[in-house]
Structure 1
Amino acid sequence: MTGSSALMRTYFQNIVDLLTRIEAEEAAAIDAAAELVAEHAARDRLVYVYGPGGHSNLAAQEVFFRAGGLVNVSAILDEGTLLSGGALRSMAMERTPGYGRLVIEDNRVGAGDLLILVNAYGINAALIDAALTAKERGATVVGVSSRVHADSTAPDHPARHPSRRNLHDLVDLHIDTKVPVGDAVLEIEGAGERVGAISTFANAYALNCLMAAAIDRLTGAGADPDIWRSGNAPGGDAANALFLHRFRDRVRWL
């Protein structure tokens, strides 16, 4: 039996180590992606974020309608892979070839658009179809996923797209979250499996760094970026109301 305090310290250190690697090794990729986001926001264009996968959807939600986040972010919250529709259903849908294509087409992502695809492991069929379809339709695609996890997954894994391709091989720009194989990082004697998943921390850190860097570029260029304020903070509703007339009809899930 391991004490809670020791487990907390070990889990904390695993998270810190992973985020430190992202900070040290992915700054250039995050800066490049931030430039793309800033360019689109400066032209008052939407930035689409899609996380096809049960818990990867959390990443898209993390930077959507978020305090301190860009108003221009439009998350694709398609019900197919959301856990709210059922966990097993979500997994089945993310493994269904062709589903990601339907989602991209339904959301009319196309020429001149910017799409950020985020997925912990970077291999599932819906994800790969989303990337392929967005590219075919002329969008610029940024991928956020773990290279080591994708490269370590067998070509015949049932989650894979029929092409057996990885997200990081398809996108215009890739941010590597370095999530270890299996996601969970804590070993507890007698548990049989590792516990304590880490991918949500990695995705949230990478995406929030990306959005903060984009806002920094906008302000550095003399722009006044549209930024959400928490509705629970003083003046939040009034501040956010200034954006609604411009975005309510453009952002599908607003």
Structure 2
Amino acid sequence: MTIPRQRYRDQLAIIFDRILGEQSAALDAARDAVATALGTDHLVYVAGSGHSHLIAEEAFYRAGGIAAAQAILDPDLMLHLGAERSTLLERETGRAERVLADYPVEAGDVVFIASNSGRNAYPIEMALACKARGATTIALTSLRHARAITSRHDSGKLLYQVTDLVLDNGGEYGDAALSVGNDIRMGPTSTIAGVFILNAVLAEAVDQLSHNGVDVDVYQSANMQGAEAAAEEMIRRWQSRIRGL
């Protein structure tokens, strides 16, 4: 039997290949939505709670990432203020609307909502609220997991059932894809796959716009030699529109 690191790598490779092989239409639609938003001076938002907030942070102020990306972050739903507490709060009705009071999502924007299960109130209500504001909503979720569970939201619906587009992260039910020891499940894949999907879609959108003669602000690492001034200038250009810079 191969060692766990090799099996983990192999499982991730299978997931990546399935994402590319089975979701071409969805990936194309997401790319086109992002390209349209960026080409018309709108923003790309990314929301998540618990470990899914890592995907939102990945898009924000990122070397090799677009400047027009805004992470929607609620500290109470992140892990550093209490992991168990965050799990309970993401089930709370009404929180998404309160969080959105600080983020001017509007028609023409694109909002990615990351949630592996997509069953809790926060991601579902985030999608519904952003959709009501006229934004294009995109779920980053595990369809295998979602189709094995019931919703915790009053609507009875899951995240993938309320968004405009759905991108499946290809994960196992329960997320842990690797069997170790006496059938202990480890090796989650949702964050790795979600980051891959998000960065691939953003890169393709920028590539499409570039070939059409449209320039998009993309951060380069401020830790490259001589890159500090360019990074600072880009921050100054976007500070009035992007929260947290």
TM-score range, shorter chain: over 0.9
- The Cα shift of 1:56 comes to 0.3
Counterpart of 2:193 in structure 1 is: 202
Does the CA contact (< 8 Å) of 1:101 and 1:126 recur in 2?
A: no
Map of 1:80 onto structure 2: 76
Specify which of 116, 119, 131 is matched with residue 120 of structure 1: 116
Q: Secondary structure of 1:132's match?
A: helix
Segment drifting more, 209-218 vs 241-250: 241-250
How many Å apart are 1:222 and its aligned residue?
0.8
Alignment map for 1:35-184 (pairs within 5 Å) = 35-51=32-48, 53-155=49-151, 160-184=152-176
Aligned-partner Cα distance in 1 for 2:67–2:133? 24
Structure 1's consecutive aligned runs of 4 or more residues displaced over 6 angstroms after TM superposition are none
- Correspondent of 1:232 among 223, 232, 236: 223
Q: Secondary structure at the match of 2:144?
A: helix
1:190 and 1:229 mapped to 2: Cα distance? 45
Contact 1:149/1:178 (8 A) holds in 2: no
Contact 2:131 2:137 in 1 (8 A): yes
Paired residue type of 1:209:
A
Write out per-residue CA displacement over residues 153-205 of structure 1, whole angstroms, 9 at most, x where no aligned residue: 135xxxx21222111111111111121101001212335x3111111111011
Deviation at 1:107, TM superposition (A): 1.6
Structure 2: gaps of 5 or more residues: none
Name the structure 2 match of 1:28: 25
* Structure with greater strand share of residues: 2
Shift of residue 111, structure 1, vs aligned partner? 3.0
Q: Which runs of 5+ in 1 are unaligned?
A: none
- 2:206 maps to 1:215: yes
Residue in structure 2 matched with residue 9 of structure 1 by the alignment: 6
TM-score (norm. length: structure 1):
0.91
Change (3 A) 1:235 1:218: farther
**SS of residue in 1 equivalent to 2:111:** strand
Task: Note the C-alpha offset of 1:68.
Answer: 0.9
User: TM-score by structure 2 length?
Assistant: 0.94
Q: Which amino acid aligns with 1:166?
A: L
For each residue in 1:125-165, what CA deviation from the matched residue of structure 2 results, as whole angstroms up to 9, or x when unmatched? 1000111111222222111111121111135xxxx212221
Cα RMSD after superposing both structures? 1.6
Q: Distance in 1 between matches of 2:206 and 2:25?
A: 16
Q: Give the Cα separation in 2 of the matches to 1:31 and 1:66.
A: 23
